[in-house]
Every structure is written in C-alpha cells, then in structure tokens.
Amino acid sequence: MTLADLKPGQSGEIVKIQVAGALKRRLMDMGVVAGTTVRVEKVAPLGDPLEVLIKSYKLSLRKSEADKIDVEAVA
C-alpha cells in the first residue's frame, strides 16, 4: 500500500521510500522517513496534489510521488 492509496482523514506509517537520488534526499530532509506517521488531509480540487500532515506540518506532494512511498495503514 502506498501513500496515494490513503483517503483524506486516513493515516499510515511510512515503511519505505521507493525513489532514488535527489528526490529521495529531499523527501527525507522534509521528514518523509521510515517510521513516521502521515495523515492525508486533503486532495486538491482538481484531484492532485495531496496535502498531508507529517511531523506536525503540512506538506503537499503529487500522487505520482506519493505512490512511491510505501505505508502501512494505522487505525
């Protein structure tokens, strides 16, 4: 399951980031690291990007990137 599969209001715990290089580095620097809980807050009016809550701040990223972040759903 990936971050893109979560619906607004659902949370998940990051398991693995499936990207490489600079993009991965950037995601890590912004707090997208394994073990962190993320909650999907909103989907933009046109269906993309997503707004997620991570480490107590709001981050927006596209579904195509969210799709490469493996998560495990948490209740």
CB of 9 to other proteins, least distance (A): 12
Give the residue with the Cβ less far from other proteins, 56 or 75.
Answer: 56
Angstrom distance (rounded) from CA 23 to CA 50: 17
Q: Which is nearer to other proteins, 5 or 24 (CB)?
A: 24
Least CB distance from residue 1 to other proteins, whole Å?
21
**What residues make contact with other proteins under the rule CB under 8 A?**
22-31, 33-36, 42-49, 51, 55-62, 64-65
Distance of closest approach, residue 13 Cβ to other proteins, in angstroms = 13
What is the DSSP track for the chain?
Answer: -BGGGPPTT-EEEEEEE---HHHHHHHHHTT--TT-EEEEEEE-TTS--EEEEETTEEEEE-HHHHTTEEEEEE-
